[in-house]
């Protein structure tokens, strides 16, 4: 009984098995052997890739490829063309004024008018003639330089006796008459200073009139 059931099951499975299609189906031949024989005949007649060996599907594919190539070429040609507005012309180079640009000047006036303008500009020029240099004022600056280098005391350090009542107010009045302490010191030295005190210019007895300071001259001599 068991053997009978097994045989029936095998027969049912065999009936349900899907048959394997012939490898030549779908290519226009009944079997692969027919396809191979026809293929060899085509190779002998025209060779691989010849006009006789091309099928209708290959021709259709080539036609589609040609159309696609033409479409790509047309797209590339269209993209090469400028799409924006045309660039404006350069009217003037950087660093060149309109007066030095012939095209700009010619659009404004003629050559004759430009020559007349140049002549008018030349007539308007004003030439300033050189004049003689002013004379150097007489100065005894060498005196104060020599004196500054010959001393070592600082401003306010008394070296000379000045026992005069009201010396400070008198010095203030007289020092105001000089444009600078240097000129006051020159006068002071030329008229007996520092031992004497002409016009009371050195009330503290340091030898320096009207707060004159010898430090800049000493510093310059050390450099």
The Cα 214–Cα 197 span in angstroms is 18
Cβ–Cβ < 8 Å for 184, 138 = no
- How many other CB atoms sit within 10 Å of the CB of residue 12? 9
Over its C-alpha atoms, the chain yields an Rg (Å, rounded) of 60
Would you say how long the chain is, in residues?
Answer: 223
Cβ–Cβ < 8 Å for 218, 149 = yes
Q: What percent of the chain has pLDDT over 90?
A: 28
Q: Is 189 contained in some domain?
A: yes
Alpha-carbon torsion (184, 187, 190, 191), positive or negative: negative
Q: Is 71 contained in some domain?
A: no
Question: φ and ψ at 64, to 5 degrees?
Answer: -65, -40
Q: Is 109 contained in some domain?
A: no
* Weakest mean pLDDT among 3-7, 38-42, 104-108, 191-195: 3-7
Q: Is 113 contained in some domain?
A: no
Distances (CA, A) of 178 to 75, 147, 172, 181, 188: 94, 19, 11, 7, 11
What is the chain's mean pLDDT, rounded?
74
Q: What is the DSSP string of 50-71?
A: STTT--HHHHHHHHHHHHHHHH
pLDDT above 70: residue 94: no
* Weakest mean pLDDT among 46-55, 88-97, 101-110, 113-122: 46-55
Q: Is 168 contained in some domain?
A: yes
Cβ–Cβ < 8 Å for 34, 41 = no
89 or 136, greater pLDDT: 136
Q: Is 100 contained in some domain?
A: no
Structure tokens at 118: 């140049």
Q: Which domain holds residue 166?
A: 141-222
The Cα 203–Cα 175 span in angstroms is 11
Q: Is 215 contained in some domain?
A: yes
Q: Is 194 contained in some domain?
A: yes
Record the pTM. 0.39
């Amino acid at each position: 009984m068991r053997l009978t059931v097994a045989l029936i099951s095998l027969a049912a499975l065999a009936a349900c098995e899907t048959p394997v299609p012939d490898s030549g189906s779908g290519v226009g031949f009944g079997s692969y052997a027919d396809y191979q024989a026809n293929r060899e005949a085509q190779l002998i007649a025209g060779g691989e890739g010849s006009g006789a060996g091309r099928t209708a599907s290959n021709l259709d594919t080539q036609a589609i490829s040609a159309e696609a190539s033409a479409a790509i070429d047309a797209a590339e040609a269209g993209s090469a063309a400028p799409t924006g507005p045309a660039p404006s012309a350069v009217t003037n180079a950087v660093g060149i004024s309109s007066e030095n640009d012939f095209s700009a000047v010619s659009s404004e006036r003629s050559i004759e008018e430009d020559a007349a303008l140049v002549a008018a500009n030349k007539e308007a020029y004003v030439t300033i003639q050189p004049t003689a240099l002013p004379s150097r004022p007489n100065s005894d600056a060498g005196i104060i330089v020599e004196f500054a280098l010959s001393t070592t005391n600082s401003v306010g350090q008394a070296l000379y006796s000045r026992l005069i009542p009201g010396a400070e107010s008198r010095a203030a009045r007289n020092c105001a008459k000089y444009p600078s302490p240097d000129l006051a010191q020159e006068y002071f030295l030329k008229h007996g200073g520092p031992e004497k005190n002409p016009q009371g210019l050195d009330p503290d007895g340091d030898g320096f009139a009207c707060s004159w300071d010898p430090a800049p001259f000493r510093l310059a001599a050390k450099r």
